[in-house]
Structure 1
């Protein structure tokens, strides 16, 4: 069994720019699995790809080698690769998880038949709250009743903080495999999720209380990003970039105060994990990263997909629900949600995110309707509560 190989389901931006990079630069062979046959063919033809690091000054270029690709339907080849490793990663997006899990369950059964009780660790590189519970629940549906899931599968939650912007069509045509990203590379993982020894590699940051760190990403990073997009679009509807709207000092201060309000909520949830000083430093670092002009992160990318991003367990509504339970202030976060309901940014081709068109049709019923039916926030006589 190859101790220095990782199989990555999902050869998208996070798979290539983050998980693939972190492990490849630590001497791992990287096997990408994807449903996009053209992408898989390119990986196998070129046997390398470029990561362009946008660090605010001159771009830095990384070449990732020792890679191969497998098409998702090539089950026999995939089985051979997965049988020969102790670690894999999922980076397919929330919708893709449902497609991959039945296949993964079949592979786990064959793996056990061939190698016996050798554990496989799965790094869940998805921005999904309680991702380990979701994956476990779906695997339990697909695996035989006598399969010892708790013993043989390590479900390793992560907090993915790396920003990977949308690339222009011109950039993609220039090199379909290249990916742009910031220099941030800290991969926060659940220390207790591993069944095998934790890989001793740079950039890996194991945490005892991963739930706190997942919520830190959601309540501060994701919230601050969304607040910037929604408040920025409200004030500057013709703006394109996140860094552009943050040139407005008043807007920047409002975003920072909104993030600080959420930080107070987070600290109340996890008083033993974070100090206010630590969270303030994290917020200032994030704002500095948001303002990175070379990253060219767009309002559209950060703010689109409104059903998900305004959903009850996501970046803005989840902190409000927690604030209601804890009796903490949330008015600034609520203001960002209201701005989000009116968010209408388009991509470089003048198109809305597909499902956002349906959201717009519902939004004509007014903010209260969205708060109650999308965010699951009950609004009674000016007071906010959780809608059951």
Structure 2
């Protein structure tokens, strides 16, 4: 434990919490822990419209999928524009800062946090500030900490811990701020970094957190990507409908069999434990009461095809273990076909360089890599099918060879 972590927060103090990112995860999930801890809560967001609505309404309701649990009301909240003097003041005064902005956006927090810590020093506050990243990424804490130190920040006064998000939340149709969320009330976090005194109710200390986060990305997020991109190709809009499609389920089974074995060996986990972990993920994704959509889960294809991300990294782990990653190659090919509203850069890249070189630039794989070449073959098979022809992924797995 470093010197900064030796400072203790009295449990008699009312904890001040700032949540950077007032979207679905920040507003619909992370805010619950602040409420349970009776913390003073403030949101920081880059959307002027969202900040305005929060300050006008000063509260909102979290509803739960399936109707088996009563709603939770979050009241007395306030919001500030990211980068504003008010946001800097709130971060300077906070005991805990949560982020829910997406891993790729974390580097943008370094300079505002630097300003906030300078202001905190002027206020003669001696306790360090703990930032808890609530992002779907392999190593979001490192991304933020690297940006913080590169900006000249002192790692003794701002300490970054990571948390893992297993809860799905979406905006409630027909409301200004309400959220629909999964009834899931645990936030696992890195207990080696965040002291017990800063733990809010519902936050679960995890001593093997790095392993848990990687396992989540390579299981939950891997399956999520497969379902989203294969589902999009089949014309599904709702996520659970795609997850229950028999043809897609066949692909998922062929992903999981070698993946579970490879992760079990790599992470020194009992195979049964990893299989149960994966089954829980599938049950969640196939739950029709969780009204999530394909577009939310499929967006940002280039990031999700990154070298340490949810499709490429599991494929490499399977290959290292001697397993077959054909099903993952098909899912990656489906990702390259995704035509979401924000994927124009991806398709410009593919049009300019072709699928092999384009995927090489995104994934970090060599153009001669066996997995990349297999993705390319599936990509072309999908491209060459007759327009309007029904897709059989099971058939494609059988006919597209090595």
The answer to whether TM tops 0.5 is yes
- Secondary structure of the equivalent of 1:372? helix
Alignment pair present for 1:25 and 2:20? no
- Secondary structure of the equivalent of 2:289? helix
Distance 1:376 1:24, change over 3 A: same
Gaps of 5+ in 1: 345-351
- Secondary structure of the equivalent of 1:50? strand
Whether the aligned pair in 2 keeps the contact of 1:338 and 1:367 (CA below 8 Å) is no
Gaps of 5+ in 2: 1-8, 374-402
- Secondary structure of the equivalent of 2:176? coil
Whether the aligned pair in 2 keeps the contact of 1:3 and 1:85 (CA below 8 Å) is no
Alignment pair present for 1:310 and 2:305? yes
- The answer for the alignment partner of 1:358 in structure 2 is 345
Alignment pair present for 1:266 and 2:263? yes
Whether the aligned pair in 1 keeps the contact of 2:89 and 2:119 (CA below 8 Å) is no
Whether the aligned pair in 2 keeps the contact of 1:223 and 1:315 (CA below 8 Å) is yes
Matches within 5 A, 1:22-101: 22-54=33-65, 56-57=66-67, 60-75=70-85, 77-101=86-110
Distance 1:303 1:74, change over 3 A: closer
Per-residue Cα deviation, 1:122-151 (whole angstroms, up to 9, x for no partner)? 10112222222211111112236xx4x1x3
Q: Distance in 2 between matches of 1:176 and 1:307?
A: 31
Per-residue Cα deviation, 1:261-292 (whole angstroms, up to 9, x for no partner)? 32323223311xx3222222222222121122
Q: Distance in 1 between matches of 2:298 and 2:51?
A: 29
Distance 1:370 1:163, change over 3 A: farther
Q: Which moved more, 1:213-222 or 1:84-93?
A: 84-93
Whether the aligned pair in 1 keeps the contact of 2:356 and 2:372 (CA below 8 Å) is no
Shift of 1:12: 1.1
Q: Distance in 1 between matches of 2:55 and 2:256?
A: 43
Shift of 1:382: 4.5
Matches within 5 A, 1:1-388: 2-54=13-65, 56-57=66-67, 60-75=70-85, 77-143=86-152, 147=154, 149=155, 151-165=156-170, 167=171, 171=173, 174-194=174-194, 196-234=195-233, 236=234, 238-271=235-268, 274-344=269-339, 352-354=340-342, 356-364=343-351, 367-380=355-368, 382=370
Whether the aligned pair in 2 keeps the contact of 1:242 and 1:290 (CA below 8 Å) is yes
Per-residue Cα deviation, 1:164-222 (whole angstroms, up to 9, x for no partner)? 24x48xx2xx322112221123211111122x434344321221222211111210111
Shift of 1:57: 4.6
- Secondary structure of the equivalent of 1:377? coil
Q: Which moved more, 1:82-91 or 1:154-163?
A: 82-91
Whether the aligned pair in 2 keeps the contact of 1:24 and 1:66 (CA below 8 Å) is no
TM-score, reference length from structure 2: 0.81
Distance 1:46 1:233, change over 3 A: closer
Whether the aligned pair in 1 keeps the contact of 2:36 and 2:200 (CA below 8 Å) is no
- The answer for the alignment partner of 1:348 in structure 2 is none
Q: Distance in 1 between matches of 2:67 and 2:107?
A: 40
Shift of 1:256: 3.5
Distance 1:261 1:41, change over 3 A: same
- Secondary structure of the equivalent of 1:193? coil
